[in-house]
Structure 1
Amino acid sequence: MPRAERERQMIDVAVAVFAERGYAAASMDEIAERVGVSKPMLYEYFNSKEGLLLACIRQARAELRTVTEHAVVGAGSAEEAMRRGLHAYFAFMREHREAWSLLRTEMSLAGTPAADEIEETRRQQTDLIAALMSGYFEADAPLQVEAAAEFVVGACERLALWCERHDVAPDVVTDHVMRILWDGLRDRARG
């Protein structure tokens, strides 16, 4: 099996094990057994259990970015772009519940490189939203655009948790967010 394919397989299994057991209770032995490789091979690829966790978080972050970026391509207005991006985010969280569980457990990882990786995921989404907004909104106040992007990321993260508790569909939560957020942003949109 090519190295990249094997690495992806290891990460996919590790995401499942970390989601089921939590990082502390997950074992490299179990991950290796489920993948069908030796424990030393896991260490060869990732150096440590923490290294494997970081690879899992990085993969989830990359997938989230790809999904949200692709969702807004071709949007004809700021409102459409926001709606598409929000829906993509909430759909990702629903369809990738195991990866989402890694991103939402940061308090147990405080002060670790994993917490830094999770914060980098937030930063990635904030930067993406700010760049998108600057293309559709008046750019006379870059700090306001950045603040609005931070607000969107924080609100959506909390709403993703709410969706998980109540099994709310991406379409429904997207409509909720648009009703709340779009009213505050509409007047700043160009044209």
Structure 2
Amino acid sequence: MGSVKTKRMPRAVREQQMLDAAVRIFGRRGYTAASMDEIAELAGVSKPLVYLYLNSKEDLFTACIRREASALTAAVRSGVRPGLPADRQLWEGLCAFFTHTARNPEGWTVLHLQARTHGEPFAAEVDAMREGIVAFVTQLIDVAAREARPQALGCARPGRHPQDPELPERETAGLAEALVGAAESLAAWANTTPGVSAGQAAATLMNFAWAGLGNLMEGRPWSPPDHD
């Protein structure tokens, strides 16, 4: 009788299986402590096969970062429906962000903690992802400012002279950076705090950020006190 041949798994599928295992190990143990033996065992393959597919531990970690960054960016962008009011778009983007990071805690740990602390090439990969998300949030803030401008200028209370809520480019960029930074920190906290849902985390950040943004869009920015 001839030997029974098993069907070979397609390379792309096998590679994703390895990346799944690697993200879990890197996320739980950290880049330095993670071993290729552990990753191969969890993936159900031999260590030489991992090296054959992904060359080195450094290349494997880079591949994990790129995959998780791409998945997070896609989740945020696809979660926002164009045409909605700006606050709804921001809300949907935050919900998508916190839902994704809650469902993929090891992937978020790889992006938020591990990649940033193990050398410039890894950090640069995450910085590229972050720049894309910041640019996307900047667009949402620009939309919010355009929506609020006619209302703020045309619906002021009698005797009141609101400021034009058209925001300088630098201020818009700063607001987007601050919002993304807050979301990153809040996701790390939510993933380690029992009972905090993605919706609750999104609502917390909306309550924190949108009240201030709303005043700003309506021409009521906070001003520092005059120095004596």
Q: Structure 1-normalised TM-score?
A: 0.89
Residues 126 and 150, structure 1, Cα contact 8 Å, conserved in 2: yes
- 1:164 matched residue in structure 2: 191
Aligned match of 1:134: 142
Whether the aligned pair in 2 keeps the contact of 1:106 and 1:118 (CA below 8 Å) is no
For residue 107 of structure 1, report the CA deviation from its aligned partner.
Answer: 7.6
Alignment match, 1:64: 72
Q: Tell me, yes or no, if the aligned pair for 1:103 and 1:118 is still in contact at 8 Å.
A: yes
In the aligned structure 2, how far is the partner of 1:119 from the partner of 1:71?
21
Q: Give the partner amino acid of 1:52.
A: L
Query: Are 2:39 and 1:31 aligned?
Result: yes
Measure how far apart 1:181 and its partner are. Answer: 0.8
Separation in 1, partners of 2:20, 2:118: 23
Is the contact made by 2:116 and 2:126 (CA closer than 8 Å) also made in structure 1? no
Decide which of 33, 37, 47 is 2:55's aligned counterpart.
47
Aligned partner of 1:122: which letter?
R
Q: 2: distance between equivalents of 1:108 and 1:131?
A: 26
Most deviating of 48-57 and 165-174:
165-174
RMSD: 2.0
Q: Given the alignment, which residue of 153, 161, 181 partners 2:180?
A: 153
Q: Does 1:100 align with 2:108?
A: yes
Q: How many residues align?
A: 189
Residue 126 of structure 1 aligns with an amino acid whose one-letter code is V
The unaligned stretches of length 5 or more in structure 2 are 1-8, 147-165, 219-228
Q: Deviations over 1:3-25 (max 9, x none)?
A: 22111111001111112222111
Answer 1 or 2: which has greater helix percent.
1
Q: For the residues of structure 1 that align with 2:108 and 2:19, how far apart are their CA atoms?
A: 14
Q: Which moved more, 1:67-76 or 1:47-56?
A: 67-76
- Post-superposition Cα deviations, 1:69-108, rounded to whole Å, max 9, x if no partner, equal 1111235100000101111111111111110111222487
Q: Which runs of 4+ in 1 moved over 4 A?
A: none
Q: Write the deviation string for residues 22-42 of structure 1: whole angstroms up to 9, x where unpaired.
A: 211111122122222222222
What secondary structure, in the 3-state scheme, does the structure 2 residue paired with 1:157 have? helix
The answer to whether structure 1 residue 182 and structure 2 residue 205 are counterparts is: no
Larger-Rg structure: 2
In the alignment, the residues of structure 2 paired with residue 157 and residue 83 of structure 1 have an alpha-carbon distance, to the nearest angstrom, of: 15
Would you say the 8 A contact 1:83–1:178 is kept in 2? Answer: yes
Q: Percent identity?
A: 37
Q: CA distance change for structure 1 residues 152 and 140 in 2, over 3 Å: closer, same or farther?
A: closer
The answer to whether 1:122 aligns with 2:130 is yes
